[in-house]
Structure 1
Amino acid sequence: MFRLSNLTVREKKLYLNDDPIQLISGAIHYFRIVPEYWEDRLLKLKACGFNCVETYIPWNLHEPKEGQFNFTGIADVEKFIRIAEKIGLYVIVRPSPYICAEWEFGGLPAWLLADRNMRLRSYYEPYLDKIDAYYDVLMEKLKPLQMTNDGPIIAMQVENEYGSYGNDKKYLHYIKDGMISRGIDVLLFTSDGPTDLMLQGGTLPDLLATANFGSKPKESFDKLNEYFPNSPDICMEFWNGWFDHWGEEHHQRDPYDAANTFAEMLKGGASVNFYMFHGGTNFGFYNGANYDDKYAPTVTSYDYDCPLSESGDLTPKFYAVREAIGKYKNIEELKLPEPIPKINYGKIDMVESIKLFDSLEVISEPVRRTHPQTMEELGQDYGFILYRTTIEGPKPEAQLTIQDVRDRALVFIDREFIGVIDRWDNNTISFEVPEKGVQLDILVENLGRINYGPLLKDPKGITEGVRFERQFLYDWTIFPLPMNNLDSLTFKKANNLDNSGPSFYRGVFNVEEIGDTFVELPGWKKGVVFINGFNLGRYWEIGPQETLYLPGPLLKKGENEIIIFEMHSIDRLEIFLIDTPKLG
Structure 2
Amino acid sequence: MPTLTIGEHDFLLDGRPHRILSGALHYFRVHPDLWTDRIRKARQMGLNTIETYVAWNAHAPAKDTFDTAGILDLGRFLDLVAAEGMHAIVRPGPYICAEWDNGGLPAWLFSTGADAIRSDDPVYMAAVTEYFEQLAPILVPRQAHLGGPIVLVQIENEYGAYGADPSYLEKLVKINREIGLTVPFTTVDQPQGDMLANGSLPGLHKTGSFGSRSAERLDTLRRHQPTGPLMCSEFWVGWFDHWGAHHHTTSVEQSAGELEAMLSRGASVNIYMFHGGTNFGFGNGANDKGVYQPIVTSYDYDAPLDEAGNPTPKYWAFRKVLAKYADLAEHDVPARAAAAPELVVPLTGVLPLWDVVDASDRWTASENGPQATDDIGHYSGFSVYRTRIDVSGPAVLLLNEVRDRAQVFLNRRGIGTLSRDNHDRTLVLPYGASGTLEILVEDQGRVDYGPRLGEPKGLIGEARINGEPVLEWDLLPLELKDVGPVAEHFPGSSPRPVTLLAGPAFAHAVFDLPVVADLFLDTSGWGKGVVWVNGFCLGRYWSRGPQRTLYVPGPMLRSGSNEVVVLELQAAVTPVVSFVSAPDLGHTDF
Q: Flag whether TM exceeds 0.5 (same fold).
A: yes
**Residue 488 of structure 1 is aligned with which of 478, 485, 488?**
485
CA distance in 1, matches of 2:339, 2:136: 39
**Residue 373 of structure 1 is aligned with which of 364, 371, 374?**
371
Deviations 1:183-236 (A, max 9, x none): 000010110111122112111111101110001112212222222211321101
Contact residue 24 and residue 51 of structure 2 kept, 8 A: yes
SS at match of 1:347: strand
Contact residue 525 and residue 567 of structure 1 kept, 8 A: yes
Q: CA deviation at 1:4?
A: 4.0
Q: 1:432 to 1:504 in 2, by over 3 A?
A: closer
Deviations 1:443-481 (A, max 9, x none): 110000011112112211112121112222111111101
Aligned to 1:528: 530
Verify: 1:515 aligned to 2:517, yes or no: yes
After superposition, residues 140-151 of structure 1 pair within 5 angstroms as 140-151=137-148
Aligned to 1:576: 578
Aligned to 2:99: 102
Aligned to 1:384: 382
Aligned to 1:242: 239
CA distance in 1, matches of 2:289, 2:108: 25
- Of the structure 1 ranges 28-37 and 477-486, higher mean CA displacement relative to structure 2 is found in 477-486
- Of the structure 1 ranges 419-428 and 167-176, higher mean CA displacement relative to structure 2 is found in 419-428
Identical aligned pairs, as a percentage?
A: 40
CA distance in 2, matches of 1:289, 1:45: 28
Contact residue 8 and residue 187 of structure 1 kept, 8 A: yes
Contact residue 209 and residue 231 of structure 1 kept, 8 A: no
SS at match of 2:63: coil
SS at match of 2:81: helix
SS at match of 1:101: coil
After superposition, residues 266-285 of structure 1 pair within 5 angstroms as 266-285=263-282
Contact residue 525 and residue 575 of structure 2 kept, 8 A: no
SS at match of 1:424: helix
Q: CA deviation at 1:35?
A: 0.6
CA distance in 2, matches of 1:414, 1:564: 24
Verify: 1:288 aligned to 2:288, yes or no: no
Aligned to 1:540: 542
CA distance in 2, matches of 1:535, 1:513: 21
Q: Aligned AA for 1:391?
A: I
Aligned to 1:416: 413
Verify: 1:159 aligned to 2:156, yes or no: yes
Q: Aligned AA for 2:522?
A: E
CA distance in 2, matches of 1:60, 1:510: 35
Q: Aligned AA for 2:429?
A: F
After superposition, residues 268-417 of structure 1 pair within 5 angstroms as 268-336=265-333, 342-362=339-359, 365-370=362-367, 371-394=369-392, 396-417=393-414
Q: CA deviation at 1:258?
A: 0.2
**Residue 429 of structure 2 is aligned with which of 426, 431, 435?**
431
Q: 1:144 to 1:363 in 2, by over 3 A?
A: farther
After superposition, residues 168-317 of structure 1 pair within 5 angstroms as 168-317=165-314
Contact residue 352 and residue 506 of structure 1 kept, 8 A: yes
Q: CA deviation at 1:498?
A: 5.2
Q: Aligned AA for 1:509?
A: F
Q: CA deviation at 1:363?
A: 5.5
CA distance in 2, matches of 1:480, 1:164: 35
Q: Aligned AA for 2:221?
A: L
CA distance in 2, matches of 1:83, 1:364: 44
- Of the structure 1 ranges 368-377 and 24-33, higher mean CA displacement relative to structure 2 is found in 368-377
Verify: 1:133 aligned to 2:130, yes or no: yes
Q: 1:117 to 1:185 in 2, by over 3 A?
A: closer
- Of the structure 1 ranges 261-270 and 330-339, higher mean CA displacement relative to structure 2 is found in 330-339
SS at match of 2:239: coil
- Of the structure 1 ranges 441-450 and 213-222, higher mean CA displacement relative to structure 2 is found in 213-222
Q: CA deviation at 1:116?
A: 7.1
Q: Aligned AA for 2:543?
A: E
Q: CA deviation at 1:520?
A: 0.6
Gaps of 5+ in 1: none
Verify: 1:502 aligned to 2:504, yes or no: yes
Q: Aligned AA for 2:54?
A: I
- Of the structure 1 ranges 253-262 and 459-468, higher mean CA displacement relative to structure 2 is found in 459-468
Verify: 1:555 aligned to 2:557, yes or no: yes
Q: Aligned AA for 1:499?
A: L
Q: Aligned AA for 1:384?
A: F
- TM-score, normalization by structure 1: 0.96
Deviations 1:319-345 (A, max 9, x none): 100111123333222424566765324
- TM-score, normalization by structure 2: 0.95
CA distance in 2, matches of 1:494, 1:200: 65
Q: Aligned AA for 2:446?
A: R
CA distance in 1, matches of 2:2, 2:325: 27
Contact residue 311 and residue 334 of structure 2 kept, 8 A: no
Verify: 1:45 aligned to 2:50, yes or no: no
The root-mean-square deviation of aligned C-alpha atoms, in Å, is 1.7
SS at match of 1:82: helix
Contact residue 284 and residue 297 of structure 2 kept, 8 A: yes
CA distance in 1, matches of 2:68, 2:179: 19
Contact residue 48 and residue 334 of structure 1 kept, 8 A: no
CA distance in 2, matches of 1:96, 1:364: 38
Q: Aligned AA for 2:527?
A: K
Q: 1:525 to 1:189 in 2, by over 3 A?
A: same
Q: How many residues align?
A: 579
